Structure 1
Amino acid sequence: MKRLISSSAPGRRGFSLIEMLVVVSIVVMILALATPALTRTLQASRLSSAGESMMGAISEAQQTAFTNNTPVDIRFFSFMEDLDAAPVFHSYQLFKIAQTTEGSGGNATIKETITPVGNLIRLPEGIVIPVDSQLSYALSGSGTNLTDTKENSQVGYSGVSGATYSAIRFMPDGTCRSVGSTSNGLATLTLQSLQKNFFTLTFGSGTAVTVATLPKNFFTVQIDPYTGKARSYKPGF
């Protein structure tokens, strides 16, 4: 007679509690070591993306000014959010500038009017442009914060009550200038030196960003005032 062999496999011993705890501990350690590096990588990617978008906006402003033969402003809006220790630039938008004449004869006055180009662009959460002359002289070195207003609206173009803005104007001839306060209906324009025509994007929610507290990763944009060409510095990437 043939001997029947049972098809059932012999019982296997499972993992003991100690073995499972060892495995879980190893996984936790790996995650603890990998998470900071992964977080820094993701933050650097977000900052780089925000900086490249800013570079694209500068290029668009320059091309629009040349193509339409009209000045184009980039307005940077400054205000405080819940975690901010001080006002910082959180958003920006492009505007075409036109001059209109009001009145006639000796009473005629010239006034600037603005037309938005595209939509308001918000910087990603946690990324700001500091209001500090050592980090963003092009936007704060002159000490001018212009009031963000919009005709027939209780809030300005930023959508935030009480916001202010600083602006850089790109001219049809390729130059760019800092925009100051309005005088006799026209904005005052200043041609900054190359060494001062820069601003910085960095992480800053909950802290007042200065040179002393500047994180390792930051994205500085410098604009040639005579050609309007922008270049970036990313030392922490």
Structure 2
Amino acid sequence: MKTILNANDNKGGFSLIELMVVIGMIAGLTTLSIPAFNSITDANALNASASKVIDAMNLARQSAITLNRPVQIRFYQIKDLSGTDLSYRAIRLIQVDGSTLKDLAKVDYVDRNVILSDRPEYSTLIAAAPQFGTDSLPGNTTNLNYRMFQFMPDGSADLPAASGDSWFITLYLKRAVKNGLDGALPQNFITVQIDPVTGKARAYHP
């Protein structure tokens, strides 16, 4: 017996051309959304890293006041996961008790895609830091370069406070360095400035 097909049987289906059009639209929307997603991710990484720097400064300052002891804040130059890029990424707080140094908190790190600039025009807290040296981080035997300053028991920072002195540190994306800065700040950056008299920090960003 022959089966008679009704013309309405395939009414709800899609033709091959229609499917290809839909797939093309999805691919186009995905391509357009990637830059926006990357921009949001970059902004989140910068904001989170700047918050870590400010939180570390606030903790060091408050601890110096509470403990009545100087507290160092050190910025360490370490390699990235690939082992090729050497930049300032680690933040360490150390309580000073006479000649004894004691870690105040766990070593913290900025986001893996963010670095602390060491250029003098962007980061005087690193390029012109009054104290520097080499030391290994806990659990590691490799000596690393660090720059540091101290918060004092009165809440101030041991940074020169003469007229014209300005103390700050700038964070930006690692790839901005690879793309070449040419003496200008990249589009996305955050600068954390500290008042040496009060020891208070605040962030600036475009």
User: Where on the TM-score scale, by shorter chain, does this alignment land: which range?
Assistant: 0.7 to 0.9
In the alignment, which of 108, 118, 126 is matched to residue 139 of structure 1?
Answer: 126
Q: How does 1:10-89 map to 2 (within 5 A)?
A: 10-13=8-11, 14-81=13-80, 87-89=86-88
Alignment TM-score, normalising by the size of structure 1: 0.74
**CA deviations over 1:162-198 (Å, ceiling 9, x no partner):** 31101121001221125xxxxxxxxxxx557674310
Shift of 1:212: 3.2
Judge which range, 49-58 or 216-225, deviates more: 49-58
Say whether residues 1:222 and 2:193 are aligned partners: yes
Can you give the 5+ residue segments of structure 2 that lack an aligned partner in the other structure? 1-5
**1:215, CA displacement in angstroms?**
2.5
Structure 1 regions of 5+ residues with no counterpart?
1-7, 100-111, 149-154, 179-189
Please give the TM-score of this superposition, normalised by the length of structure 2.
Answer: 0.84
8 Å contact from structure 2 (residues 134, 143) kept in 1 = yes
Distance 1:158 1:76, change over 3 A: farther
1:169 counterpart (127, 130, 150): 150
Counterpart Cα distance in 1 of 2:141 and 2:161: 29
Q: Are 1:116 and 2:103 counterparts?
A: yes
Partner of 2:196: helix, strand, or coil? coil
Residue equivalent to 1:204: 174
The 8 Å contact of residues 72 and 149 in structure 2, kept in 1 or not, is answered as: yes
Contact 2:64–2:153, Cα closer than 8 Å, also in 1 = yes
Matches of 1:76 and 1:123, distance apart in 2? 11
Equivalenced residues, count: 199
Q: Which has the larger radius of gyration?
A: 1
Secondary structure, counterpart of 1:75 in structure 2: strand
Q: Quote the Cα distance in structure 2 between the aligned partners of 1:207 and 1:11.
A: 62
SS at match of 1:40: helix
Contact 2:76 / 2:147 at 8 angstroms: preserved in 1? Answer: yes
Q: CA deviation at 1:51?
A: 0.9
Tell whether the 8 Å contact from 1:137 to 1:196 is kept in structure 2 after alignment.
yes
Report the aligned-residue RMSD: 2.7
After the TM superposition, list the runs of 4 or more consecutive aligned residues in structure 1 that deviate by more than 6 angstroms: none
Q: Identity of aligned pairs, percent?
A: 29
User: Aligned partner of 1:229: which letter?
Assistant: K
